[in-house]
Chains A and B, each alone.
Chain A
């Protein structure tokens, strides 16, 4: 089966510009996650969707970050305006099950590497 797809793979922008990332999860996976991984750190959850509804966005900086998952399939993550500290790898992951306490593993995409100058 095809894995989680993300695009673009790399993006360089100047601070105060806008940027958008796209994720296509594994077919049939109901739950989708966006993570931010700063160099030298582990991934940090930004937002979790279940189908097209938001389950958790407590760590999403809502003044500049937004995300949507229309029709419960693809998702986009947007940053507007970008700051220097947003330089990181943005990872998308998906899981099949919808139960939050499930033992299922998350399948990760290759990530989008963002550099803000």
Chain B
């Protein structure tokens, strides 16, 4: 059974600082990995999707890396802004049954 862990559970940084969010998973037989953003009272919004054959994916200030063999992914957010305050979830799609397994998320607060 795939276990997805996100550390830290919460993070508070001053505006302008770079953010580093970590995700680890126990089963390396993955199809892809996604990072989602969740705002209070709202659903999840997909930020980046990395295929199992890729090492990283970039979108604007966001960059996500994937090391499948070690079971790790990192989401980098450059020059953080108060609008980046949200919960960020990592989700792994299994290569066996294509199910998504989610981490519990990292709640980020960017202080103005």
Contacts and interface: CB of A to CB of B under 8 A. Distances in A.
Interface string A23-62: 0000000000000000011111100000000001000000
A77 B31 CA distance: 28
Contacts of A101: 31, 98
A18 interface: no
Interface in B95-112: 97-105
Interface of B (DSSP majority class): strand
Given A101-B31, A109-B43, A110-B41, A56 B49 contact: no
Interface of B: 4, 31-32, 34, 41-46, 49, 51, 89, 91, 97-105
A4 B102 contact: no
A105 B4 contact: no
B43 A4 contact: yes
Given A40-B104, A42-B103, A101-B31, A110 B43 contact: yes
6 contacts: A45-B100, A101-B31, A106-B44, A110-B41, A110-B43, A111-B42
A108 interface: yes
What are the nearest 7 A-B pairs in CB distance? Answer: A42-B102, A108-B43, A105-B46, A100-B98, A108-B44, A110-B43, A42-B104
Q: Size class of A's contact patch?
A: 20 to 34
A42 B43 contact: no
B51 A103 contact: yes
Given A42-B4, A42-B103, A101-B31, A110 B42 contact: yes
A43 B44 contact: yes
Contacts of A91: 43-44
Contacts of A110: 41-43
Greatest chain B CB density within 10 A among A42, A56, A103 is at A42
A106 B100 contact: yes
